[in-house]
């Protein structure tokens, strides 16, 4: 075994007595030269590689190593030029030569494909043979290489042989008089194979891969220090033809006019290119070809794909095609981190749908009003039917306001699903979608009022029967819309108005839900927003304690033989409640207080004394329009029978009905007489008289003449023939429209402008007090920023308020260029 191992190892010969001098260089080189030829012709089985190694070693010892190096180099050059080159050029058919300049698929694709595979096979074989032979020859010349390598200017014989293959095979002309080289044919053939594969054909990937590996192994310079041939020659050509292909592919797909097809094929192309780089080309090409694909196929066409009529983003959103939207999102995300094309299309669709929702909340009420007008013109015989015809548009307006919010919430849910499933919860697109909702919501001038009505309806009756989690979700939905509304101070105005009615009329379904709502608003828009609302609840709590204290006081001091009137009182802080509730003026005219019946007047004075004894220095202003009363009434029938009912009415109705107490049955009071005796505001008097005389089920008073309108000349008398199957009867006031009419809207906007003026001045003073000195532009910017959380300030109004503060010496003008202001302490 030891002897066998010894024979396997080539030993360097010992330097004998003048052995090198006795060797004949020519004979040694002759043996080596013929042996190298045998290796190339695959007849090396009879050669002794140990003997060949010794011969090369002896030549080097003779200091003839450089000559041996050059001779081997020359022999390899002759072999490649004379034998290998001819074999390769002979494998190139005329089909490949004719098609060399074109990489597209032609009619003779099968013929060219067969010729190409034959050529690639020959090239693959030649390259493998050359590598194998040079590996064997390098082993024989190992000692020479070691000595020659000491000269840094000369590469190893293997590297030289690879460079010779490049120069005398790869770069050789295909014919003596042709400018086309073998490399040109190789390049066009591989590109043609790739174009076939892109067209859906199956190609011999290993053949192409082997040739690409050869290009990766060869360099531009002989010393393997320059670029690889793959990078310097093939890759640029591949990227160029790929660019042309994907430009044409983009045009072809756009002509098809189907966004889904475009996205599907584009996604397939991405996967194909990645696989091609892995199995056929080089991994270093993957980012480059994907960049070409992104630029030529996606970036240049994505905008058109998004907009395609009948298949684009609008169509996908209309038909809830989530997968298609996800594909477009992923393609757009490849070429644009902001996804602007997709965002524009989605935003446009949201705003269009939002405008339709806005329009439906305006157009339909007009239709309802026309219907009501037609009903009045028909003059139906039944008064009750007329009454329903009158109330319909009022109810319809409220319904449409609620429907507006519900429709927006439904739209929001739809786009939330799209955002999560198709847009993969992209934060940038979420901001864009939120901006679109804000845009169309704020296009509706009544958005704040409608949202407040939504809360009002749900907090009155919409939450009945709902679980705690359902109520929480309902309030969260409303808060979501509040986030979009810019004029939050206007929403606060309407919310306080509606809340005051719920609290004073005891129509709130749940105090816990009301307080939960306040908590959510506080988290969303801050403490300043909810301060007055919380004060309203505090007033209600204090009023409960006052009522209980007053009842105890009456129980101790009242005449035990006289049954006292049960009084439940709400004492409201005038600065915290809506102005229309607390104001004693209307359109600049002072409203005189209502004249109460003597029974109620005594009770009123009794409570005032009780309250002022506890809180001296305060003043009570009675708001009869916000109260209710329970009264027991006796109806004497014409047949002598007596019927008693307990009526729940408004305070104003109670005042009107008590006028008819001890009043002769055959006498009546005119509208003007009632107005004079009660001083009830005309608008409220009409509504209360309508409820008492025109609604058939609650007709406590008879009106003459009978018509659906209450006029100043109408007379009213007590209706002893009133009948009801219930002992307790609730008579509601004929409701005014919950949605403000144009006049009410103007009044609200006027009051809001006044409040905003005060907020603007307060913000300016706060800023100047802190900064002491600011230029005009800086002050404007800080003021607008600070107020933007509550409303969008009007620039002209801000400038006007600055001038007003200067006039009142809160500020001073320090210079004109640039305009600069200073704070006056």
Phi, psi angle pair for 816, to nearest 5°: -100, -30
Q: What is the CATH number of domain 625-730?
A: 3.30.230.130
Give pLDDT < 50 ranges for the chain: 1-8, 10, 15-23, 103-106, 363-394, 737
* pTM for this predicted structure: 0.76
- What 638-642 contacts at long range (C-beta under 8 Å, 24+ apart), as own/partner pairs, is 638/720, 638/721
Angle at 172 between CA 167 and CA 176, to 5 degrees: 145
State residue 559's pLDDT score: 59
Residues 520 and 246: their CA atoms lie apart, in Å, by: 53
State residue 406's pLDDT score: 92
Are 184 and 100 a contacting pair, CB within 8 Å?
A: yes
* C-beta neighbour count of 339 within 10 angstroms: 25
Alpha carbon distances (Å) from 12 to 16, 20, 57, 142, 604: 12, 13, 8, 11, 131
Dihedral through CA 124, CA 130, CA 131, CA 137, nearest 10?
Answer: 170
Phi, psi angle pair for 94, to nearest 5°: -65, -25
Residue 635, SS3?
strand
Residues 503 and 505: their CA atoms lie apart, in Å, by: 6
Are 489 and 439 a contacting pair, CB within 8 Å?
A: no
In the beta sheet, which residues pair with residue 633? 645
**Nearest CA to 683 among 586, 597, 768?**
586
Residue 483, SS3?
helix
- What 347-352 contacts at long range (C-beta under 8 Å, 24+ apart), as own/partner pairs, is 347/432, 347/433, 347/435, 347/436, 347/439, 348/314, 349/313, 349/314, 349/317, 350/411, 350/415, 350/433, 350/436, 350/437, 350/440, 351/436, 351/439, 351/440
The sign of the CA dihedral 353, 354, 359, 362 is positive
State residue 379's pLDDT score: 37
Helix or strand (DSSP H, E) at 774: strand 773-775
pLDDT tens string 599-612: 788 888 888 888 88
Residues 603 and 561: their CA atoms lie apart, in Å, by: 17
HEC profile of 443-479: HCCCHHHHHHHHHHHHHHHHCCCCCHHHHHHHHHHHH
Instruction: Order across the sheet with 773-775: list the strands.
Output: 773-775, 819-823, 811-816
**Nearest CA to 450 among 403, 519, 415?**
403
Q: For domain 752-823, which CATH number applies: 3.40.50.740, 3.40.630.30, 1.10.10.10, 3.10.100.10?
A: 1.10.10.10
Is 2-226 in CATH node 3.30.930.10? no
Same CATH fold, 625-730 and 2-226? no
In the beta sheet, which residues pair with residue 774? 821
Q: Where are the domains of the chain?
A: 2-226, 243-335, 350-543, 625-730, 752-823
Please classify residue 4 by burial: count the beta carbons closer than 10 Å to its beta carbon, then call 0-12 exposed, 13-18 middle and 19+ buried: exposed
Q: Please identify, in words, the CATH class of the domain defined by 350-543.
A: mainly alpha
């Amino acid at each position: 075994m030891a002897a066998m191992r010894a024979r396997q190892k080539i030993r360097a010969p010992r330097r004998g007595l003048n052995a090198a001098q006795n060797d004949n260089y020519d004979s040694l080189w002759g043996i080596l030269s013929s042996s190298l030829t045998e290796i190339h012709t695959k007849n090396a089985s009879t050669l002794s590689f140990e003997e060949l190694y010794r011969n090369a070693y002896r030549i080097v010892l003779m200091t003839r190593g450089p000559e041996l190096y050059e001779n081997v180099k020359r022999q390899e050059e002759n072999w490649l030029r004379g034998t290998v080159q001819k074999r390769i050029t002979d494998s190139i058919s005329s089909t490949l030569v004719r098609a060399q300049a074109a990489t597209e698929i032609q009619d003779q694709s099968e013929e060219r494909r067969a010729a190409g595979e034959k050529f690639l096979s020959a090239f693959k074989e030649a390259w493998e043979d050359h590598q194998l032979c040079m590996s064997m020859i390098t082993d024989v010349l190992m000692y020479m290489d070691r000595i020659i390598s000491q000269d840094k200017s000369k590469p190893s014989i293997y590297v030289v042989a690879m460079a010779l293959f490049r120069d005398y095979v790869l770069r050789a002309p295909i014919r003596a008089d042709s400018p086309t080289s073998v490399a040109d044919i190789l390049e066009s053939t591989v590109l043609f194979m790739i174009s076939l594969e892109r067209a859906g054909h199956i190609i011999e990937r290993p053949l192409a891969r082997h040739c690409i590996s050869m290009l990766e192994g060869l360099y531009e310079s002989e010393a393997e220090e320059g670029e690889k041939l793959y990078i310097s020659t093939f890759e640029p050509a591949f990227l160029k033809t790929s660019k042309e292909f994907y430009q044409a592919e983009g045009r072809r797909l756009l002509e098809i006019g189907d966004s889904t097809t475009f996205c599907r094929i584009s996604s397939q192309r991405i996967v194909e290119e990645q696989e091609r780089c892995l199995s056929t080309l080089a991994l270093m090409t993957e980012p480059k070809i994907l960049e070409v694909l992104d630029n030529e196929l996606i970036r240049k066409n994505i905008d058109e794909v998004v907009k395609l009529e009948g298949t684009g983003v609008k169509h996908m959103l209309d038909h809830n095609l989530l997968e298609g939207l996800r594909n477009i999102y992923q393609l757009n995300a490849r070429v644009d981190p902001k996804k602007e094309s997709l965002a524009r299309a989605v935003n446009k669709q949201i705003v269009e749908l939002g405008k339709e929702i806005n329009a439906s909340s305006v157009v339909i009420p007009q239709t309802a009003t026309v219907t009501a007008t037609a009903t009045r013109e028909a003059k139906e015989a039944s008064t009750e039917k007329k009454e329903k015809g009158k109330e319909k548009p009022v109810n319809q307006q409220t319904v449409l306001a609620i429907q507006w919010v519900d429709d927006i919430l439904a739209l929001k849910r739809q786009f939330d699903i799209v955002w999560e499933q198709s847009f993969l919860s992209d934060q940038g697109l979420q901001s864009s979608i939120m901006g679109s909702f804000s845009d169309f919501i704020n296009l509706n001038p009544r958005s704040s009022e409608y949202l407040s009505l939504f809360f009002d309806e749900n907090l009155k009756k919409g939450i009945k029967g709902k679980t705690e989690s359902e109520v929480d979700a309902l309030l969260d939905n409303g808060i979501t819309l509040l986030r979009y509304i810019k004029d939050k101070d206007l929403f606060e105005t309407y919310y306080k108005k509606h809340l005051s009615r719920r609290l004073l009329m005891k129509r709130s379904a749940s105090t816990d839900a009301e307080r939960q709502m306040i908590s959510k608003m506080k988290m969303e828009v801050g403490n300043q927003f909810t301060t007055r609302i919380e004060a309203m609840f505090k007033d209600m709590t204090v009023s409960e304690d006052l009522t209980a204290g007053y009842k105890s006081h009456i129980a101790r001091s009242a005449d035990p033989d006289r049954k006292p009137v049960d009084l439940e009182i709400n004492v409201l802080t005038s600065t915290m409640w809506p102005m229309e509730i607390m104001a004693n003026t209307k359109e600049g005219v002072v409203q005189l207080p209502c004249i109460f019946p003597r029974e109620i007047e005594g009770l009123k004075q009794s409570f005032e004394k009780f309250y002022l004894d506890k809180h001296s220095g305060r003043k009570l202003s009675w708001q009869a329009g916000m109260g209710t009363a329970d009264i027991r009434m006796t109806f004497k029938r014409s047949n002598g029978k007596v019927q008693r009912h307990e009526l729940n009415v408004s305070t104003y109705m109670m005042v009107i009905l008590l006028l008819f107490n001890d009043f002769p049955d055959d006498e009546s009071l005119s509208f003007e007489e009632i107005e004079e005796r009660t001083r009830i505001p005309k608008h409220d008097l009409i509504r209360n008289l309508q409820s008492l005389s025109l609604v058939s089920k609650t007709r406590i008073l008879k009106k003459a003449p009978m018509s659906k309108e209450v006029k100043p000349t109408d007379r009213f008398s007590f209706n002893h023939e009133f009948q009801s199957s219930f002992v307790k009867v609730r008579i509601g006031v004929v409701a005014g429209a919950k949605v403000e009419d144009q006049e009410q809207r103007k009044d609200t906007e006027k009051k809001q402008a006044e409040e905003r003026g005060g907020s603007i001045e307060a913000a300016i003073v706060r800023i100047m007090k802190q900064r002491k000195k600011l230029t005009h532009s800086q002050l404007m910017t800080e003021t607008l920023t600070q107020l933007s959380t509550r409303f969008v300030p009007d620039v002209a109004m801000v400038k006007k308020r600055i001038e007003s503060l200067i006039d009142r010496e809160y500020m001073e003008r320090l210079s004109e260029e640039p305009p600069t202001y200073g704070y006056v302490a």
